[in-house]
Each structure stands twice: as C-alpha cells, then as structure tokens.
Amino acid sequence: MSGGGGSGAPGPRRLVTRTVAWALSFGCIIGCGSFVIPGSSFLPYAGPLGTAIAIAIGMVAVGLLAVGYRYLMGKFPVAGGAFAYTCETFGRNHAFVCGWFLSLGYLAIVPLNATALAIVSRSLLGNSLARGFSYSVFGYDIYAAEILAIVALLCVVVAIGVRSTRVFDALQSVFAVLLAASSVFVIVGVLASPVSSASNLEPVFSPAMSPALGVLAVVAMAPWAFVGFDVVSQVTDELAFPVRQAGAIMVSAIVLGGAVYIGLAFAAASVVPSGFEDWPSYVLAAGGLSGIEGFPLFNAVNVALGPVGVGALVVATVSGILTGMIGFLRATSRLLVAMADADVLPSWFGVRHRKHGTPANALMFVFSVSLVASLIGRTALGWIANTSSAGAAIAFCYTAAATWKCARDEGNRAMCVVGALGFVLSALFLALLLVPVPALAHAFDAESYVFLIAWIVIGCNFFEPRIASDESFVEGSFGIGEIDDGEGGEGGADGEGGGDESSRRLPNRRAY
C-alpha cells in the first residue's frame, strides 16, 4: 500500500462522549422524513397497529445488528465501521463492495434532509420560500429561494465541519436533545388532545392490503428507518468511554427512535379532518391536498395543538434536518477517509485540512454531491433514498457475516447466533427491497433500480484495478489487538490542530 499517513501520524483525540454517541445514533435515525413517512407510507400500507408491529420487528432486528456492531467495535476499535470489519474479515474486495454501498446509504440522506427545508416551508411556514424563478423536475416544482436556502444551509454546516469536529459534535448533541423533547411533546400532546380519538385509529390495519403484506411492506423500510444507529462505529477510535458501553447507547437510540415512529403514526391517524370518514380515506387523499392538510401528521398537530404545537413541530423537523445532515456528514466523511486509507478509494479522499485536521476533502465531496442532488427535486431524491436503503441493508449483511465469522473463529457460540440471525434478517430486508413483489406495494420502483445500477457502474471504475491486490491485504491488515473494555484516553492530537505534510492524512492508516 502507498504511504501517506505514516506510523508517526498522531492518533485522534477521544472527544466522543456518551452524549455525543447517543446524539449521533438517535439524530441519524430520526430525520425530517420521519415526520412525513408515517402519513405517506406507514399508514397507507399497514395502518396504526400494523405500523406498530412492523416497527417493533424492525427494532428487534436492528437491535440484534447493534449487538454485532458492539462486538466488532471491541475487536477492531478503528474508524470505518462495517467497511473496516469486512476489510479485516473478508478482505479488500468485499470491503470495497460493503463500503461503496454503505457510502450510498449515508450520502443520500444528506441532500434529502437539506431539501426538507422546502417541506417545512410549504407545509408549516406558509410557503414562504416559494419565490423567484422556478423549474420542475419529474413533476416537482423547485423555486430559487428554496435553492438559495438549501445552498446556504449546506455551506454553513460543511464549513463548521471543516473548521471543528468538536463544534460539530456539540451541535449534534443540542439538536438531538431538542429533537427528542419536541417529538415527545408533539406525540403526547396530539394523543391527549380532546380532538383526537381512539375510534379514529380504526381500522387498525390498512384496508388497501392484507395485514401480513402491509406489515412486510413497512418492515422492508427498516433499513431506511433505522440507518444511522451505526454511525458510532465510524468514530470508534474517538470514543471517550469504554467500547463495551456503545452497544447500550445504540440500542437505546433504536428503542427511542422506534417509539417515535410508532407515536407519530398513531398521532397522524388520530385526527381526521372534516369531510373524511376515517383515516384511510384521508391519508390516501392527502397527496392531492395542498398546504398543511397534505401532511397528515402536520394537520393533526395543527388541529390538536394549534400554534404551540406547530411551533414544536417546526423545532422537531428543523432539528431532524440538522441532526441528519451533521450526523451523516460526520459518518460519510470518516467512511470515505477509511476507504482511502485502505487504498480502495483515491488518496485524495483521505487528505485532511492543514490547520484544523478535519477530513476536509471528504466533506467537500459530500457537499458537492449534495449540492447537485438538491437541484433535482424531492421526487428524484426519493428514488435515490430507496437505493440508500438497499445500500444500508448490504452493509448490514456484511457486518452480520463478519460477526458470525469472528465469533466462530474464537468459539463464541452466542455471537455466532447473533451474527447468523442478523445476516438472515438483513438479507430479508434486502430481498423485500429488491425483489419486485407487486402485492407488497413498496416504493422501490423502476427509477430506483436505475439509480442503483448507476451507482454500481460508478463503483466498478474504482474497484476493478484493485482486484489483484486483495490477497496481500488480508493478513495483519489492522495490526492492532483487541481493545474491549479500556477507558478512552486523550490519544494524541485532537484532530483540530495543524500539522506538517506527514500528518495531512487522518491517522487511521496505521490501523489498516
């Protein structure tokens, strides 16, 4: 492998506290889309009870994966997450496949959250950004003022990330707490309101499809719903607490995230506007309605709680936008750096800022892709988001397989079972997404397949020249012993200061 970082490069300072770790996981699970999808997909497919069952299944499955992640984080305490585990367990070729698809799973969510500003404006702020010249992409109208707001948001967030990881993490923590508090307030407020009624939750399953198929359709969305719980694994080398505690942090984020999804679905169904007999007739017609009534949850909050509730919902959605952007920018940049350090991506991705020590090139790459993606509208971004779910499911498959193999090699039967079950469930997620089953009626349509194929073709341009180098990479690739229960220390440079040419690459290379 080529040089760059060198063994003398300083290690990252361990600044990721328990609060930051939880904020990264929970803040990435609940994004702005979490406040739209219950009314647009969960309820139409599965109904209130079906949604609760499906999300509970997803929580158990993803919680099982989190146990596997925790096990591998203890064995390989380096940045890179699923990519790093696959690299050590199955070699560079498989690692590239895993990392390439995982980068899609992370990267697509940044512009999806950034463009959610338009959703907030159109539904909650009186369409205040629908100004200036406009154009339409796949039937979605885009306005100049919306583009300017999105570009400004991307510029500010990325600039902060380039200047200071410490500030990045502090903002993630603040907005994750606001997100959790405002979400709970909205859910409890709507369900306790006199205008909501338990009778409005009937029928408990969607009449549009059978209960079993409806539940399966929502279960298929679990990779999208819970992707992000694993971003802690991208910063394992920065944890300021024992690695063994990371599992509980991820599981707690998954449980709270699942509870929020279920609560939001129940809240959206519990208030039915006049002119509609029940929630099915309303949610199926909502797509053709304008303003706040076009979003069942937003309408329920407005009717049940008035301006105070709408204000809380604005806080929740904006916080979800920011935690999604910050968390996935953080995770994607670290993943790209890890891939560059392992020589499966060009070394350019691993170059860090001379003064601040942050992964500047990787952040600028994510910024550039997000900027272009923001110009194509929410319709096309929805197709890309579907492919990101498949990317996450593929990474989950690899991580579960790595869990099984590592546990088998050391004779750990319990973790063998965890790995095997995690692989089966992840493969089921992937099959539900990719196999066209009309009866399931999920949204992985033709355009999503086109985007997925395009991502594979782009990846082949990086992957093909490295096929022959796989065997020499496997043995001793990490050169690092298992670190499981030790307390995090300062670990050298804090990643914020400058350095000479030898330290321009992030220090993870010595672990690969």
CB 280 within 8 A of CB 207: yes
CB 271 within 8 A of CB 96: no
pLDDT of residue 94: 93
Burial level of 459, CB count in 10 A (0-12/13-18/19+)?
middle
Residue 439 confidence (pLDDT) above 80: no
pLDDT of residue 13: 64
Q: What is the mean pLDDT of residues 377-393?
A: 84
pLDDT of residue 6: 36
Q: What is the mean pLDDT of residues 43-72?
A: 95
CB 341 within 8 A of CB 5: yes
pLDDT tier, 440 (very low <50, low <70, confident <90, very high otherwise): low
CA distances from 205 to 64, 78, 197, 214, 287 (A): 27, 44, 16, 8, 20
pLDDT tens by residue, 224-248? 899 999 999 999 999 999 999 999 9
Q: What is the mean pLDDT of residues 86-92?
A: 93
pLDDT of residue 438: 66
Peptide bond preceding 38 in cis form (omega within 30 of 0): no
CB 426 within 8 A of CB 65: yes
**Residues making up the chain, counted from first to last:** 512
Residue 164 confidence (pLDDT) above 60: yes
* Helices first, then strands: H and E counts in the chain: 19, 2
pLDDT of residue 103: 94
Residue 8 confidence (pLDDT) above 70: no
pLDDT tens by residue, 441-458? 555 678 888 888 989 988
pLDDT of residue 491: 38
Q: What is the mean pLDDT of residues 455-480?
A: 56
pLDDT of residue 412: 95
pLDDT of residue 444: 66
pLDDT tens by residue, 488-507? 433 333 444 443 333 333 33
pLDDT of residue 12: 55
User: What angle, 0 to 180 degrees and rounded to 10, lies between the N-to-C axes of helices 296-341 and 116-124?
Assistant: 170
pLDDT of residue 166: 92
Given CA atoms 342, 511, 82, 421 in this order, what sign does their dihedral have? positive
pLDDT of residue 397: 96
pLDDT tier, 485 (very low <50, low <70, confident <90, very high otherwise): very low
pLDDT tens by residue, 143-160? 888 899 899 999 999 999
pLDDT of residue 498: 42
pLDDT tens by residue, 285-317? 887 777 788 889 999 999 999 999 999 999 999
Lowest mean pLDDT among 132-141, 365-374, 417-426, 440-449: 440-449
Q: Which domains does the chain have, with CATH numbers?
A: 18-84+110-381 (1.20.1740.10)
pTM of the full structure: 0.86
pLDDT tier, 138 (very low <50, low <70, confident <90, very high otherwise): confident
Residue 477 confidence (pLDDT) above 70: no
Tell me what the pLDDT averaged over the chain comes to.
84
Cβ density class 375-387: b for 16+ within 10 Å, e for less: ebbbebbbbbbbb
pLDDT of residue 162: 94
Residue 277 confidence (pLDDT) above 60: yes
More confident residue, 437 or 354: 354
